[in-house]
Structure 1
Amino acid sequence: MQKTIFITGASTGLGKSTAKLFQSKGWQVIATMRNPEKETELNQLENVIVLPLDVTNSEQIDSTIKSVLEKYSIDVVLNNAGYGLIGALESLENHQIERQITTNLFGVIRVSKAFVSHFREKKSGTFINITSTFGLMGFPTCSIYSATKFAVDGFSESLASELVQFGIQVKVVAPGGMKTDFAIRSMEVGQHKAYEKLTLEVSKGYSAEQIDNYTKAEEVAQIIYEASTDNKNQLRYVAGKDANALYAERLSLGAETQVQNIKSMFTF
């Protein structure tokens, strides 16, 4: 029997790569995005339905998902929509902080809530929530971004225990750097004169040369597919060499030692 995945943020990058991979595996794909009228690739594929969805719009979340569930039985929900807000806390405006939290955290919570009763009634289903390496460890200029991704990780861990009684799984995929245009397309940067040296040092990680060493979105999509189909009772899937190295370091050294090591890198 054909399975169906519902994806947020499917217009570009990881979301689009995941939609294409699942479609190639014979799944029905419901690919949602803010501006579906601009989509020229996914809407040409068989078994792919492209729908409008802005995860900052709670009313649209409820109406879109209600409409979807009237027509389809969903097996996997991929909460992928999000973007990066980078900059020292002092450099960020309140509206930037609020938008980041609304998109990266509230979007995940609201979409998940809209699907829970569907999964509970069918006694199966999987939520896969995209976090980040910076949802597992902190890093300078990422305080608000990390706040959202740490929160999604904690939300997912708690929800996994809450829903296991109904046969529902909740999983987290935490990618490191990816070879996409995320650093240009999906990143908002704050600037403050007092933090110029810090910002310059951190920005080296987003250089073209560094991005070229990162993991391909298609490889992370493959991990999402494995998480959806491996039937493992596993919560976290760390994706990418850089992410796995940093997470292994955290586990081996301990969080406190890793934090002190990172602080020493930025003591000017």
Structure 2
Amino acid sequence: MTRTVLVTGTSTGFGRATVHRFARAGWNVVASMRSPDRETELRDLPGVLVTRLDVQDAASIDAAVAAGLDRFGRLDALVNNAGFGLFGLFEATSPAKAREQFDVNVFGLMAVTRAVLPHFRRQRSGVVVNITSGAGVFALPTSSLYSASKFAVEGFSEGLAWELASQGIRVKLVEPGGVLATRFGQRAGEEAVHAADLPDYAAFLAHAGAVFERLRDDRRLATPEDVADVIFTATTDESDRLRYVATPDIVPLVTARRETSEEAYMALMRERFGFRGDAAPPAE
């Protein structure tokens, strides 16, 4: 029997590559996005249903799940990929934008998961794959709210995995790093919060900007297609493994965060990024 996966956020980036990866493997795919009327290419793939799903719109979630069941008869996997990055100083970020970050990245993901779980329980099978980030393992300056949302998904997924194991349902976490060939970076740039009214942070932000500019100039070792391969592997892996690091560039920091002492990790971050606890960052 052909298996079916529902993927959120498929208009660009990891989500789009994931649709191609599953379709190539012979799966049925419910490719969901906020604006399906603009989509043309995915509609031509065999076994792919393009439908609307906005994680902030409960009715659209229910409709997308119903459309997938009506078209394919069952759902076997859910890939929660939809999300965006909010970067900037916490103090300069409005409460409304902070809530939006959590509404999309956390509560939206939970809402889609909640809509699918009854079907998985009836089958006594299914897999939930949540896409987090290196920012869900370690936090960098100006990523406090984005990291907070991804840390939340990490904790939610780990706790949920214990609950759903009793129902024959698996939970997986895929953790990609900075892949440049996606629109996520563009969206993150559009969402960047500026701090013109907070001159006390000027020196810090200048240093942070230089650090991140160097990071952007570094050659990335993974593509959206590479991440999609890891998503497919996680989905089809029937073991109890929970976390899958999806890009090589974040492995050193993930390893340091998870496998060294707190003191060693913090020392590494200070050395690598030059951020200190004093008022002014060190000169370049």
Q: Report the TM range for the smaller structure's normalisation.
A: over 0.9
Per the alignment, residue 166 of structure 2 pairs with 165
Alpha carbons of structure 1 residues 77 and 183: separation in structure 2 relative to 1, 3 Å: same
Matched, 1:27 2:27: yes
Matched, 1:266 2:275: yes
Tell me how far apart the structure 2 counterparts of residues 114 and 209 of structure 1 sit (CA, whole Å): 37
Per the alignment, residue 87 of structure 2 pairs with 86
What is the CA distance between 1:260 and its match in structure 2?
4.6
Is contact 1:131-1:173 (8 Å) kept? yes
What TM-score, normalized by structure 1, do the two folds share?
0.93
What TM-score, normalized by structure 2, do the two folds share?
0.88
Per the alignment, residue 194 of structure 1 pairs with 200
RMSD (Å), alpha carbons: 1.8
Give the count of matched residue pairs.
268
Q: SS in structure 2 opposite 1:86?
A: coil
Tell me how far apart the structure 1 counterparts of residues 87 and 47 of structure 2 sit (CA, whole Å): 37
Per the alignment, residue 255 of structure 2 pairs with 248
What is the CA distance between 1:209 and its match in structure 2?
5.0
Alpha carbons of structure 1 residues 40 and 186: separation in structure 2 relative to 1, 3 Å: farther
1:187-226 per-position Cα deviation (integer Å, ceiling 9, x unaligned): 4101113333333433443569536424211001000011
Structure 1 gap segments, 5+ residues each: none
Is contact 1:130-1:174 (8 Å) kept? yes
Per the alignment, residue 115 of structure 1 pairs with 116
1:162-204 per-position Cα deviation (integer Å, ceiling 9, x unaligned): 0101110000001111132321134410111333333343344
Per the alignment, residue 205 of structure 1 pairs with 212
What is the CA distance between 1:129 and its match in structure 2?
0.1
Tell me how far apart the structure 1 counterparts of residues 216 and 132 of structure 2 sit (CA, whole Å): 24
What is the CA distance between 1:232 and its match in structure 2?
1.8
Per the alignment, residue 150 of structure 2 pairs with 149
Moved more, 101-110 or 200-209: 200-209
Per the alignment, residue 184 of structure 1 pairs with 186
Moved more, 199-208 or 239-248: 199-208
Tell me how far apart the structure 2 counterparts of residues 219 and 84 of structure 1 sit (CA, whole Å): 21
Larger C-alpha radius of gyration, 1 or 2? 2
Q: SS in structure 1 opposite 2:49?
A: strand
Is contact 1:178-1:211 (8 Å) kept? no
> Identity over aligned residues, as a percent?
38
What is the CA distance between 1:56 and its match in structure 2?
1.1
Tell me how far apart the structure 2 counterparts of residues 200 and 254 of structure 1 sit (CA, whole Å): 30
Is contact 1:18-1:222 (8 Å) kept? yes
Tell me how far apart the structure 2 counterparts of residues 206 and 59 of structure 1 sit (CA, whole Å): 41
Per the alignment, residue 95 of structure 1 pairs with 96
Is contact 2:32-2:64 (8 Å) kept? no
Moved more, 247-256 or 44-53: 247-256
What is the CA distance between 1:139 and its match in structure 2?
1.3
Alpha carbons of structure 1 residues 262 and 236: separation in structure 2 relative to 1, 3 Å: same
Is contact 1:179-1:214 (8 Å) kept? no
